[in-house]
Each structure stands twice: as C-alpha cells, then as structure tokens.
Amino acid sequence: MHNEDLSQPLQLGSLTLPNRLIMTTVKLGYGTKEGDVTGRHIAFYVRRAEGGVGLITTEPLYIRRNGRELPTQLGIHDDRLTDGLRRLVEAVHAAGGRIMAHINHAGRAANPKLVPEEERVSASDVLCPANGVTPRPLSRQEVPAYVGAFAAAARRVKEAGFDALEIPFSHGYLIHQFLSPHSNHRDDEYGGPLENRLRFGREVIAAVREAVGADFPIVVRMNAADYVEDGLDIEDAVAIAQALEGMGVQALSVTSGTMCESVPFCLYPTGTPKANLLPMAARIRAAVSLPVVVAGRIRTPQVAREALAEGQADLIGLGRPLLADPDWPRKAQSGDEEAILLCAACHQGCLAELRRGKGTSCMFNPLCGREGEELITPAEQPRRVMVVGGGPGGMEAAIIAAQRGHRVTLYERDDRLGGRFREAAQVPHKEEFADIIRYQQIQMERAGVDVRLGTTVNPDLVAAEAPDVVVVATGAQPIVPPFPGLEETRWMTAYDLLDGRAEVSTPSAFIVGAGTTGLETAEYLARQGVSCIVVKRKPEVGAKLDPLAQAVLLKRLEKLGVEVRTGVEVVRFETDAQGQTTVVARPYPHQEGAAEMRFPAETVIIALGLRADRTLADALEGRAEVHLIGDCVEPREALDAVNEGFEVGRTL
C-alpha cells in the first residue's frame, strides 16, 4: 500500500525521518578558501531545519583539495575542519533538524582554476567539455589513497555528529567517472565490464562502512541516465542499484546527467522537463527493497504526493525549492500551499550568483543566504507609504514595508499586477514565473497592502494623498529607434506582443534585437508556427542569460528553425504600394563598399531593450521623500528589482 502523505515517518537504517522530504545537496559557496564552515552556513541550514524538512543534505564536502569545484566550497579533507562541522550539526539538531553530509571528489569536473594540471585526475584521460580539462588517469597504486580519502572523510562525518552520509555515484564525479564506459577506458581490474567499473565505488563503500560502523546510514546518489553517448542508461542503473543494495547501503537517491557533458540534466534549468526522473526512479525502486529518493524539478506538493502515491519513490528530494521557500515542508503539511513561494528554475539567484563568486541566493527570496542577519524588524514609527508600480520590485517593497507595520498603498497603471514579469511568464518554459506574481499578490493581501489598479500616478495625486514616503517602481519602456520607414510597416514591440496587447497574424516575422527578449520572442512565435529571423548588430546573442540557460535556449531555437544572424545593422524599412515591406540593412562592423542586405518582412518586431521610465521620479524631485527601485533606476534583471524592493521595504 503506497502512502501519499508527505508527513509519514520513514526509517533509514538507525535514523528515523519524521517525514518524506529531504533537502538534496545544493552548492552554496559560503565557506572560506580553506573549506571552513562559516556562520552563513549555519544560519542557512538552521533556517531549512526550522522549515520542517525531514533531512538536510549539506553542499558537497570535498575529500581532497584536488576535488574542489568552488573556491569557497566546504571541505572535509582535514581533521581541523571537524570542529566547524560539529558546530553546524549541533545548531541544526538544536533547531529540531537532521543533517546528512555529502562527501565528494569531482575528478575531471574539478575547477581548473583551483587544481593544478598534474593533479587533475580521473579514471581515464577523457576530456571534460564543460571545463576544458583532460585529466590524467589515476594509477593502480594511487587508487587506494582516494579510497582512503573517502574513508577518512567518513570518519570525520561521524565524529562531527552527522546523522547520515551521502556518496555520489552520479553527476560525472570521480566514482561515476569509473562507472561510466564514456569516461572509463581502462584495461586493468578497474575497467571493462560493469563489475570492474564498479570496483572503485565498491571499495569506497566498504572502506566508508568500516569507518562509520554497521548501523550508520549511508545513502548513495546514483544516475538513472547520463544523457551522454556511451554513458549509463536506465538498464545500467537498475544493475548498479541492485549491486548497491548488496553492498549494504540504506537508501538510493536518483538523479541524472554529468557535470561535464550533460549539465542541464544535473541542474535542470528553465526549459528542462519537470519531474522527468519519476518513471526511472520507479524502475529502480521496483528492482530493490531500499528506500528511493528522487529530485529534479518537483516544485509542488501535489507532484510530490502523486509520486509517493504511485510508488515512484519513498522520499522526495527538494533542492532549489527550499532556497525559494524554506517553509515549503511546513506549508505543505499545514495545507497552506497557496503561500508557498515556488521555485521557477530561473537559476538567476542560485547558479548565476554562485558563478559570480557571491554565494547562492534566490531571485525571489532575498533572505536566502542572509538568514543570520536581523533583516525584517517592526517599524519604530509607522508611516504612510505610497508604492507606484506593481511589478516584482514594487510588490516586494509593499509586502516588506507592510509586514513591518507601515500603512502601504500600491498603485498600478494597468488593470493587473506583475509589470514586465507578465511578459516573461508568456515565454515558453517560463510559465512558472506567473506563480511568483500570484505569490506576491497573496502576500500583499495577507500583509494588508491596499492595492489600486488602473490608476496612473501623477504629482497631483501624490499631493492629494500626501504620503510620508513614495517608492517609485515605474519600470522601463521599450526603446524604439526612429528607423526611417518603420511607421509605414506592420510593426510592434516584443513587449506588447508578449503582454497580449498585439498579435502576429502573418506567417513570418522579422525580429530586430537578439538579446534575451528577442530570442524568447522568436521561440514564442516559432512554437505558434510563425517563421522567424532574428538579427543583431553585435556578435553576442542572449548575452545577459546565464551560460547554461543560453545554451539550452539556442539549441531549442535551432530545432525550431529560427534563423539568428549577427553582424546585421538595420538601416531603414521600405514598404511598396502593395504593402510589402523590405528591411534594408548593412554589415556591421561597416565595410567600405559593402553591398546592402535586403530582407522581406511581413511583421516587424522591435526587441532592442528598455529605457528607464523616470517621468514620475523627475516630477517629484524635491517634493517628497522618494526612493527609486528596479528598472526605473536602470533596466536590469528581476533579481535586482526584488532585492531593491526588499531593501527599501526593510529600511523605511
């Protein structure tokens, strides 16, 4: 009998989990260069424990310095780190939580900026495309030292008081590099048939088990599929799962992809399938008697419950959903699901900020990574606050100010909230952004914000309302250069199209601008059968996108037959008596005597970015206490608007 109740306890070896939710490993980058635990880690994990998740998994702890991925990753390679890890465990336990250490060596996926060339090791010398590293194969004489490093790390895990231990046989890391025929070309006892490729992992499990004792829970993270030529598939996964059960581990955590060849299937950005590991997890679960954990874009409690009810898994893994809302488990169990801030897989606050060396945060949860700071405190003197603009930044400012006790009224010119974010939610694979708007509306209602739609704010209205403070979040307007002949063509801005104020009724469209908006508009139209060409003057396309999201989007556009051309500078539009338009362009950079280029265009779409709308801000200068946030300062990402809204709301 399967149970769909997320709050059922489960036994994991000697450990009782109070519910079916596990926080999976998420890289944070909050450590020191030496790999020490910091106060930021402790506050982050304590907050997740308070949110009610059954078991927290740490970020990957590296077992040797040549296995690091981040300069500020947590380490477990040295006894002197045990004290910091013990402090972390004790803090999580004091908050009522349980915590599992994830120990890892990245092998060829290690960061080449951190690991000298001679120390980049793997099973074989197979290039890692993601970081350009061709590692050297570990010699037979070296293998025991790496097995020993896992065992020593496991001993420290136990000494620090962790509740369980997780080892990755997954994601193209060192053990997986031995497991997969793609990365293992050895001809010794560690290469060849599966039994031999499993040998290194088997030796690691045996040594770890000896280090932690018979009843300490060991979880193995394993791939259901590598999505790589000559990689492991579901049939291999079933055989590996059965072998792992024979090795005496306590649970299997099912994942996919490699950090070298198939990164989207490790990190699941926007545009990758939701919850697509469930059917494969079910196959693995049917082949073993161990509890099975599954993660990978399981964003809602409903999907989690269905997975349990259908017997696809015993435990549900949540990674980034708990960055967005640490209270996801508590809200799911108390029936307050409408108040869950659902992860949109946008990667803007987590992976993009991590890559910039800032440590993981979340676009929609400005408290993520700042849990240790006293941020939201009651206002000493409640004030009347007027927020102008109902995009994500304006709504965030209104919510936080109202939660602190200010009397807040939010004005929005349109008849609905969301601002430019509504347009983002129309783009294929970004439908989940609509959930953020819904969440912010609910939070405004609960905080008592007075919302007035369909109201344009001018200086007279501000004077009549006489607020103590005005937060201007009026956003930005599309840039439309004065192209000769544009007004005679059938044209629109990408923003009006995505917001439903205009539509394309012709079989083809010509899009000027190949930034994020231009590319996403092309996909939006191509999926409706409109043939699109996108042109841009400069060579980079979608430059503001996270590199992973950019690669995935360009691949989709190629499949849809969208033509993206750079080095094309639009000069003018010519429309003949029959209404046929030709786009006249020239090569960029300009070449002496280069011929003009001519493109037929049935509908022209302008996607050349945005210009800050400061009309109201300028008109109010000197008349009131005014704070500007978001795109009306300068057009950037929603991450910036939400953060600025949060900062204004908490400091008023």
Catalytic residues: 173
CA distance 468 to 461: 14
Q: What is the CA radius of gyration of the chain?
A: 27
Say how many C-beta atoms besides its own lie within 10 A of residue 597's C-beta.
Answer: 17
- Strand bridging mode 581-587 / 597-601: antiparallel
CA distance 607 to 1: 54
CA 576 to chain CA centroid, Å, is 48
Segments of 431-530 assigned E as strands = 450-452, 469-472, 476-478, 491-493, 508-512
Residue 99 phi, psi (nearest 5):
-140, 135
Q: Where are the alpha helices (DSSP H) in 335-432?
A: 351-355, 392-403, 421-426
3-state secondary structure of 89: helix
Indicate left, alpha or beta for 147 from its phi (over 0: left) and psi (-120 to 50: alpha): alpha
CA distance 422 to 279: 33
Q: Note the residue count of the chain.
A: 652
DSSP string, 274-330: TTTTHHHHHHHHHH-SS-EEE-SS--SHHHHHHHHHTTS-SEEEESTHHHH-TTHHH
Nearby residues of 356 by Cβ (< 8 Å), 6 or more positions away = none
Amino acid making up residue 467: P
CA distance 48 to 342: 15
Indicate left, alpha or beta for 31 from its phi (over 0: left) and psi (-120 to 50: alpha): beta
| Closest C-alpha among 55, 69, 199, 52 to residue 123 | 199
| Closest C-alpha among 10, 13, 31 to residue 22 | 10
Nearby residues of 348 by Cβ (< 8 Å), 6 or more positions away = 363, 546, 637, 638, 639
185 touches 136 (CB < 8 A): no
CA 239 to chain CA centroid, Å, is 31
CA distance 272 to 351: 15
DSSP string, 3-36: ---TT--EEETTEEESSSEEEPP-----S-TT--
CA distance 117 to 431: 43
- The DSSP bridge partners found for residue 252 are 220, 292
Q: How far is CA 360 from CA 31, 60, 552, in A?
A: 11, 14, 22
Establish whether the linkage from the previous residue to 392 is cis, with ω within 30° of 0: no
What secondary structure letter does DSSP report for 595? P
3-state secondary structure of 75: strand
CA distance 431 to 443: 20
3-state secondary structure of 239: helix
